[in-house]
């Protein structure tokens, strides 16, 4: 069996009993950075063979996992912190396992962005997790444009050195909205700082950040169009139909299945 295991995002005590049981039972652990994972295992007196599984070797790592699993080995997969796959390596591995028909499971646990949502006090009834923005500014702008009209809270991951560029680009595309920077979650210096995009973030720059931005205010003008016109608008901008359908549903605050029948001819 292959198990994706969530690990602490800061405080090493934030690990589940099931996660510890799985790590102790594993024959081998695939991890993003062996040095980082070794610190966690040492804290709980766990000694296991460690193999690398990072964003540059996921397919190769997946092939090793499949071979070991078919030999009857028990395998755990972890990232440096939090839930594997969520802004961390692992998605290509999941795809390879699915393609090979290899069973795997997931053990829930720590994840940064839900914690940040709570600490921000921003609306949490609906939200969109976007993660890290692309490196190129033009691609950042294009991605943000897709969510400009969304009324739910937007959530991003951000490295400290990218804060200024992120907030400046967000201000240009989204306008001067309320934002919140949450850093060092579960650690001694945990902090949640509210600010406006136009002013930028002026707080401490240490640690990994989760940025939250309030959703658009008022009615999205695209919602005044028919469903067919609404979806066609996004398709004309270059979106695939399924993505255009998702975005239109997000704009309208409904499920995409409610719009599907009206767009069959597109």
pLDDT tens, position by position, 203-262: 999 999 999 999 988 667 777 788 888 888 888 888 888 888 888 887 777 777 878 788
Whether the per-residue pLDDT at 193 is higher than 70: the answer is yes
CATH topology of domain 2-110: Cobalt-precorrin-4 Transmethylase; domain 1 (3.40.1010)
Q: What percent of the chain has pLDDT over 90?
A: 78
Cβ atoms of 64 and 102 closer than 8 Å: no
Whether the per-residue pLDDT at 265 is higher than 90: the answer is no
pLDDT at 223: 77
**Interatomic CA distance for residues 209 and 155, integer angstroms:** 11
Q: How far is CA 80 from the centre of its chain?
A: 14
Mean pLDDT of 159-185: 95
| Choice among 88-92, 95-99, 163-167, 260-264 with the minimum mean pLDDT | 260-264
Mean pLDDT of 32-60: 96
pLDDT at 219: 65
Classify 113-213 by CATH class: alpha beta
Query: Could you give phi then psi for residue 71, rounded to 5 degrees?
Result: -90, 0
Q: Enter the pTM of the model.
A: 0.80
pLDDT band at 171 (very low <50, low <70, confident <90, very high): very high
- Delimit the CATH 3.30.950.10 region(s) of the chain: 113-213
**CA separation, residue 206 to residues 158, 166, 185 (Å):** 12, 16, 12
Whether the per-residue pLDDT at 38 is higher than 70: the answer is yes
DSSP count for the chain of H helices, then E strands: 10, 10
- Delimit the CATH 3.40.1010.10 region(s) of the chain: 2-110
């Amino acid at each position: 069996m292959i198990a994706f295991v969530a690990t602490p995002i800061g405080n090493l005590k934030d690990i589940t009993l099931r996660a510890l049981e799985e790590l102790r039972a594993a024959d081998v652990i695939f991890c993003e950075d062996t040095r980082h994972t070794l610190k966690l295992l040492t804290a709980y007196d766990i000694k296991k063979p460690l193999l690398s599984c990072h964003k540059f070797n996921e397919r190769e790592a997946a092939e090793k996992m499949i071979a070991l699993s078919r030999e009857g080995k028990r395998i755990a997969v972890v990232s440096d912190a939090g839930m594997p796959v969520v802004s961390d390596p692992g998605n290509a591995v999941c795809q390879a396992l699915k393609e090979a028909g290899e069973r795997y499971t997931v053990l829930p646990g720590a994840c940064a962005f839900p914690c940040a949502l709570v600490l921000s006090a921003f609306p949490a009834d609906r939200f969109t997790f976007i993660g890290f923005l692309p490196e190129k500014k033009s691609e950042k702008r294009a991605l943000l444009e897709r969510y400009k009209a969304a009324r739910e809270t937007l959530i991003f991951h951000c490295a400290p050195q990218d804060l200024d560029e992120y907030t400046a680009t967000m201000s240009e595309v989204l306008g001067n909205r309320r934002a919140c920077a949450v850093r060092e979650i579960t650690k001694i210096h945990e902090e949640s700082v509210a600010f406006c995009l136009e002013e930028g973030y002026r707080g401490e720059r240490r640690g990994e950040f989760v940025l939250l931005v309030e959703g658009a205010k008022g009615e999205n003008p695209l919602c005044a169009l028919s469903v067919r016109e609404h979806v066609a608008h996004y398709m004309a901008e270059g979106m695939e139909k399924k993505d255009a359908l998702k975005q239109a549903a997000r704009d309208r605050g409904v499920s995409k299945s409610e719009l599907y029948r009206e767009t069959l001819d597109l």
